[in-house]
């Protein structure tokens, strides 16, 4: 379960009344403290190692699965990544090029 999923679950418990405001804040702080930068480097999960785990999605794809894979990798919804690529295409002209390069070089998930 990713950190964003755990925070989302805590938020749902808070909204349902299972957690008070203080309990929610305490649980969230404890969760965020457990994933500090020191812990990720100590376990060998440096950012470059994490980047190697990025894959194109098979289940959440419109074209090549890049945005679905980015959604799973970052915890953001895939439609946000699609919007970012469209905006970069219209405003900077590099969105399509970046998408095509990612489609070529990022492996598909198993």
Confirm whether pTM is higher than 0.75: no
For residues 19-26, average pLDDT: 86
Q: What pLDDT is stored for residue 45 in this prediction?
A: 57
Tokens of 93: 């002209």
Neighbouring CB atoms inside 10 A of 13's CB total: 14
Q: What pLDDT is stored for residue 42 in this prediction?
A: 47
Residues 86 and 95: beta-carbon distance below 8 Å: yes
Helix locations, the chain, DSSP H:
3-16, 21-34, 37-42, 47-51, 66-74, 78-91, 95-105
d(CA 71, CA 109): 13
Average per-residue pLDDT for the chain: 79
Tens digits of per-residue pLDDT, 51-64?
777 788 777 778 88
Tens digits of per-residue pLDDT, 67-90?
888 888 888 888 888 898 889 888
Which is higher by pLDDT, 39 or 109?
109
What is Dmax (Cα atoms) for the chain? 48
CA–chain centroid gap for 12, Å, is: 19
d(CA 23, CA 60): 35
- Is the pLDDT at 99 greater than 70, yes or no? yes
- Is the pLDDT at 1 greater than 70, yes or no? no
Q: What pLDDT is stored for residue 37 in this prediction?
A: 44
Would you list the domain boundaries of the chain?
Answer: 3-46, 54-105
């Amino acid at each position: 379960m990713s950190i964003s999923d755990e925070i989302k679950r805590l938020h749902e418990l808070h909204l349902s009344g299972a957690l008070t405001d203080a309990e929610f804040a305490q649980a969230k702080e404890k969760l965020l403290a457990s994933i500090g930068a020191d812990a990720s480097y100590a376990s060998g999960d440096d950012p470059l190692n994490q980047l190697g785990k990025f894959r194109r999605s098979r289940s959440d794809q419109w074209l090549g699965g890049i945005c679905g894979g980015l959604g799973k990798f970052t915890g953001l919804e895939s439609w946000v990544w699609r919007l970012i690529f469209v905006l970069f295409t219209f405003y900077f002209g590099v969105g399509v090029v970046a998408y095509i390069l990612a489609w070529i070089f990022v492996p598909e998930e198993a």
